[in-house]
Amino acid sequence: MRHMLMFAVVSALCLAPSRSLADADKPAAPLPEGYKLLYKQDFEDKDVLMGFHMTDPNAWRFMKEGKDGDDGSIELFGKSNYKYVVRSPLNIALIDGKVFGDFVLECDLVQTGREYGHRDMCLFFGVTDRSKFYYVHIATKADPNAHNVFIVNDKPRTNIAEKTTKGVDWGLEKWHHVRLERDTKAGTIKVFYDDMKEPIMLAEDKTFTEGFIGFGSFDDTAKVDNARIWGPSAHGKKAEIFPPQK
């Protein structure tokens, strides 16, 4: 009985979500010269939802977890009531009030959906309107429509990555640290997943040089925590991309 109890406790600890950032204000890898912290969000208060512009606010909620209820995050817990003529992700939460050009984004992500090939989370950037943006689709298995860097430019999404891995292991309630680097002059896009040394995706494109940044998924559910964005500069702008919910 004692062994069974110990096994249950260890199993519960292994399955319990935990944040991956030891020091959220310190980047996991060196930054380009001249970069400074432009955005910081620890998701510790329910009012954080007001800082996002979403395809459907009703699909997102504020969560408190941890032993003492002291770990906050925002959760995409359902399908967004949103449709658009251009084939692209439907579940999107954009950081409101700031537009970024060159940047390094780091955040903690946990995928809460079932396991299958296209099990995903997405990072959005260069968003200027509903049919002009980039997004990174991080999925279990790579194919032409999954685990790639995509551009949406007035037509259904097109993959543009020059290099990707075969996919990632999201695990069960396991947090992962993700880093997205964008250099608009060189056109480069780099994505790192847990290992900050070797990118899981590389792409090059100069179509969009600035826009809003956000989080979400094509088809699944997920949580976001500890978001940081560094860059040379950003300018204020209200996000008015998606139609207001009725």
**Number of folded domains that form the chain:** 1
**CATH code (residue 170):** 2.60.120.560
Domain membership of residue 243 (yes or no) is no
pLDDT digits (tens, 9 = 90+) for 61-113: 999 886 555 689 999 999 999 999 999 999 999 999 999 999 999 999 999 99
The share of the chain scoring above pLDDT 70, in percent, equals 87
In a domain, 120, yes or no: yes
Element (H, E) at 60: strand 60-65
Q: Is residue 221 situated within a structural domain?
A: yes
Q: Is 14 helix (H, G, I), strand (E, B) or coil?
A: helix
Q: Does residue 242 lie within any of the structural domains?
A: no
| Residue 203 phi, psi (nearest 5) | -145, 165
**pLDDT at residue 19 tops 80:** no
* pLDDT given at position 246: 58
> What's residue 41's pLDDT?
96
Is 244 contained in some domain? no
Question: What long-range pairs does 191-195 form, CB within 8 A, spacing at least 24?
Answer: 191/123, 191/136, 191/138, 191/149, 192/28, 192/29, 193/138, 193/168, 194/20
- pLDDT tens per residue, range 149-176: 999 999 999 999 999 999 999 999 899 9
Q: Where in the sequence is the domain holding 131, given as residue range(s)?
A: 2-237
Is the residue at 78 inside a domain? yes
**CA dihedral of residues 200, 205, 206, 210 (deg, nearest 10):** -40
User: Which amino acid makes up residue 148?
Assistant: N
- Residue 67, in any domain of the structure: yes
Q: Which neighbouring-strand residues pair with 137?
A: 122, 148
Can you give the pLDDT at residue 244? 82
Query: Would 145 be classed as within a structural domain?
Result: yes
**Residue pLDDT, tens place only, 25-64:** 789 999 999 999 999 999 999 999 999 999 999 999 999 8
